[in-house]
Amino acid sequence: MFETRKRTDFLFPKRNFWTGFSSILDIFGADKKFNTSKSGREADTKAIQNDWEMIGQDFRDVLSKLT
């Protein structure tokens, strides 16, 4: 099986235990940060490219199981 760095949730910030734990104290939601792009067009381009790469990864996974 092929490994990939691509994710379907690339717009969301990466979380760990401490950021999750500190969110308990964030009652006003000030720590709700998302990964951003310079423009809507750039965000759309990244999303579409990532979608196609994930589809390609799915095809590679299926083909590797068939052989």
Residue 51 contacts by C-beta under 8 Å, 6 or more apart in sequence? 8
Kindly state the average pLDDT of the residues 39-45: 87
Please state the pTM of the whole predicted model: 0.52
Kindly state the average pLDDT of the residues 12-20: 71
Whether the Cβ atoms of residue 4 and residue 67 lie closer than 8 Å to each other: no
Res 59: pLDDT: 92
